A and B are shown apart, each in its own frame.
Chain A
Amino acid sequence: MSQKPGGEIMSVNVFIDGLTLVAQLTGDLDMVTGAELKKAVDQRWDDFEKLDCLVLDLTNVSFTDSTGLGAILGRYKKVKTREGDMIIVGAKGGVKEDLEIAGILKLCKHAESLEDINCDKHRF
């Protein structure tokens, strides 16, 4: 994690919990961080074929633009190619509104916090 000028902290922290891949994002989600998200998630998703759920934790994301939303939608498509599920966690305010406008909250579930999630219980 690095502190960027202007006070923005941008990072993607990825870990695996059982068959779930969790990506925690911090900072602004735009073209640059969207590409970081893609890289971090896709590599692990491809490496571990048994993974069947992707959790995107947006609790610490305060800004998105259309390219950032495109990166989220791209991960949804990626997960769906293997019949997996995607869950979004902790989106608030403008970020949640953007996800609604982009139609992403119609495609996948949203949970308030990471603690509320059990991928096995969120089957569609």
Chain B
Amino acid sequence: MNIEQCHNQMSEKNEVHLRFPSLPENIAFARSTVAAFAVQIESFTEAEYNEIRKAVSEAVSNCVQHAYPNSVGMIDISVFINEQTLTIIIKDQGVGIENVDLAKESDFTTKPDENLGLGFSFMTACMDKIEIQSILGEGTTVTMKKRPEKLDA
């Protein structure tokens, strides 16, 4: 493979998979790693990289706090780059969300003393598209997509 072929291939399709326990110290690792991978989509602005970091931070914090409230479980993150679009899938096998529509509402929180209930609102604000699938007792999968704004301007 010559350099040109290598470069062409780089920006078209790529993926990375992470698997780690739901320890709070892994939250920073997850958001930094996903953002570092997203750099391969060069058209993202600095602000957009920050939005990616925030969305990942919110989703992984949810896994740590809510999916596995009294235990440590595994979190799987898959990140795909396809035609300049970033897809992030964050999956846990935790307790699940009883009412996804309610959880997505701004200000909703199950722990009002410590939390603001802004997690899903931030994720929605930071990404182009967000989808949540959850089954009680089996876990939650959050799928988020983002494309550099200037490509569609």
| Chain A positions near chain B (C-beta within 8 angstroms) | 4, 6, 8, 10, 28, 30-32, 35, 63, 65-67, 69-70, 73-74, 94, 101-102
Contacts and interface: CB of A to CB of B under 8 A. Distances in A.
Given A8-B32, A73-B116, A94-B50, A65 B24 contact: no
Contacts of A31: 24, 27, 61, 64-65
Interface in B1-48: 24-25, 27-29, 32-33, 36, 47
A93 B62 CA distance: 25
Taking residues whose C-beta sits less than 8 angstroms from the other chain, chain B's interface range is 20 to 34
Contact of A102 (B25, B64, B116): B116
B114 A70 contact: yes
A94 B126 CA distance: 12
A38 to B, nearest CB: 10
B47 A94 contact: yes
A55 to B, nearest CB: 21
Contacts of B33: 6
Contacts of B24: 31-32, 35
Contacts of A73: 116
Nearest to A4: B28
B53 A74 contact: no
Nearest to A103: B116
B115 A70 contact: yes
Given A66-B115, A67-B65, A32 B57 contact: no
B28 A30 contact: yes
B103 interface: no
Contacts of B122: 65-66
A17 B24 CA distance: 32
A66 B58 contact: yes
A65 B32 contact: no
Given A6-B29, A63-B53, A69-B116, 4 more contacts: A65-B57, A65-B122, A67-B115, A73-B116
B28 A65 contact: no
14 contacts: A6-B36, A31-B27, A32-B24, A32-B27, A63-B57, A65-B58, A65-B119, A66-B116, A67-B65, A70-B114, A70-B115, A73-B116, A74-B114, A94-B47
- The residue in B28, B54, B61, B114 that gathers the most chain A C-beta atoms within 10 A of its C-beta is B28
A62 to B, nearest CB: 8
A32 B28 contact: yes
